[in-house]
Chains A and B, each alone.
Chain A
Amino acid sequence: MTETLLTKDAVFEGLSGNVAIQALRAALPEAIVNAKFDRGELTLVIAAEQIRAACRILRQAGYNFLEDVTCVDWYPVEPRFQVTYHILSHKMKERVRLHAMVGSIDPSIDSITAVWPAANFYEREVWDLFGVRFNGHPGLRRIMMPEEWEGHPLRKDYPVEGYR
């Protein structure tokens, strides 16, 4: 399928058979804030406070493998941080991308290490490079930069050459 669906309603209608959408709508009807189907990839925008529950439901629905957790900084737009999750189902051979938007004042979101321990390093990386805090993470500390580093280098307001 190559068509592009840009609104939540269009995705719900066009991909009504999608397991991820069905499972999330059945268990957490308010969780999906927005949705997009573009270039053959499904993106679901999840309410940030429900991310852990949404991940748990997706894992139960057969999306068994967490591929990646990362972040995009949309500075100066608010909410600024788009925490991005890529989740794969080995059985269905299908991938779903979750977005959770986090504001710039004390950015924090629930950790999903309880659902997938694989998120551990990824969340540490996002904390290190973007400064988004993950609540409930077993050991949130810097992973790439030195412990005593100040600032979060992948933020858009951090210069490429660093502060001199």
Chain B
Amino acid sequence: MPENPHAPEIPGFVETATLVQPRPEEGAKDRTMVLNMGPQHPSTHGVLRVVLEIDGETVVKCVPDIGYLHTGIEKTCEAKFWQQAVPLTDRIDYLCPLTNNLCYCLAGEKLLQIEIPERAQWMRVLLNELTRLNSHLVWLGTHAMDIGALTVFLYTFREREEILRIFEHVSGQRMMTSYFRIGGLALDPPLDFFDSVQALLKVLPEKIDEYENLLTGNPIFVNRLKGVGYLSAEDAISLGVTGPPLRASGVDWDLRRDMPYSSYEKFQFQVPVSSDGDVWARYVVRLQEMRESVKICQQALDGMPSGPIKADAPHVVLPDREKMKTQMEALIYHFKIVTEGFQVPTGEVYQAVESPRGEMGYYAVSDGTAKPYRVHMRNPSFATLQALETMCVGRLIADVVAVIGSIDIVLGEIDR
């Protein structure tokens, strides 16, 4: 390979000069300085580097630099069979693996045009809402910790542990679940699964009260959040912001209600909206969302239909272990799906779901073979990060920490 004449002497730090252009006015260079925040900054929730141009303590310019966690998941998907890509989708976002699983499976099912049994759909809703609770608990703990309220973290992780235990119970894994498959679920939920979810749901509302007791009336917390990081509805829409930050800016949009998938239309829930557009509004909206998620979980538990958990599509869905040992056909299907994959008809689909962070979309293209021709993930954090500058400019450096916490980014999801 020819030597690159423009290669930097210290890789990774060359672009500071190009990222932050000096301001056009005379003598601007003397007034402002460039501050590197990250990539190993504790409040950046991963490896986000933010280049801040500051005038004293005031942010003049704020340029996020991403890509430190890029692992080429989209490229890897193209080299796998359709069903083999499911575990890759877990690894995009460690806080909502099941939402990623769901979105990918829905896209695959839309391409194949197969119907999923009701029980599988309801299980998907139940687990997705538990995932939302899990993700919001981590957000609340870390966000409060960034602001300086260290205690909340211990409280939220106590409940999160219970949710992870449920995930382990149902899928065998705490975080990298891979529980949804194209065509249904991997396994029937274990016998006492619903009891353990019920036990959790019983205590959660009062636990959420407990977090609110610690934070909502705390004047230090309130002062750090109120009026900080304002984002107007117009800016939010034109910058591609989705999810709680969009709803906190006053846009009443939730894919679960407005473009329902996986039988969400059968559930009753409120979509919390606030028109304040600041960090505090995002805090209020997310806490309210947790309460609504508990309600959805309860409805899913109460009305859980019985029946099969896999679609009736033997060429796509792996047969039951039992059948493989007694029926020749099942054994052949199993062998063929595992060794050759299954062909997906030519076409393209875009499937969007409401993840805890906003609109997660999978764009899947098939050329008729057993491997995806292209899988693209539209991730909410990636777009939301573009709004960081709008929210931070003119504020203090300390507010940048609050704003990053409030948009709840996951860097694995941004970089893929």
Q: Chain A interface (Cβ within 8 Å of chain B)?
A: 38-39, 41, 43, 64-68, 70, 72-73, 84, 86, 90, 93, 95, 97, 116-118, 120-122, 129, 141-148, 150, 153-154, 158, 160, 163
Contact = CB atoms under 8 A, between A and B. Distances in A.
A154 B11 contact: no
Contact of B8 (A38, A97, A147, A163): A147
A121 B75 CA distance: 19
A41 B239 CA distance: 24
Nearest to A161: B79
A97 B350 contact: yes
Interface residues of B, number: 49
Contact of A144 (B14, B70, B383): B70
B358 to A, nearest CB: 10
Interface stretch (B125-133, B137-145, B176-184, B373-381): B373-381
Contacts of B347: 38-39
23 contacts: A38-B347, A39-B349, A41-B349, A65-B240, A67-B352, A68-B363, A70-B363, A70-B378, A73-B374, A86-B363, A90-B237, A93-B259, A97-B350, A117-B386, A118-B238, A121-B385, A122-B383, A129-B74, A144-B66, A144-B70, A148-B4, A148-B6, A148-B8
B84 to A, nearest CB: 13
B382 interface: yes
Interface of B: 1, 4, 6-8, 11-12, 14-15, 18, 66-67, 70, 72, 74-76, 78-79, 110-111, 113, 237-240, 251, 253, 258-259, 347-350, 352, 359, 361, 363, 365, 373-374, 376, 378, 382-383, 385-386, 415-416
Nearest to B112: A39
B361 A67 contact: yes
B373 A121 contact: no
Given A65-B240, A118-B383, A148-B4, A160 B415 contact: no
A86 B259 contact: no
Given A146-B12, A147-B15, A148-B8, A67 B67 contact: no
Contact of A68 (B1, B14, B110, B361): B361
A97 B363 CA distance: 11
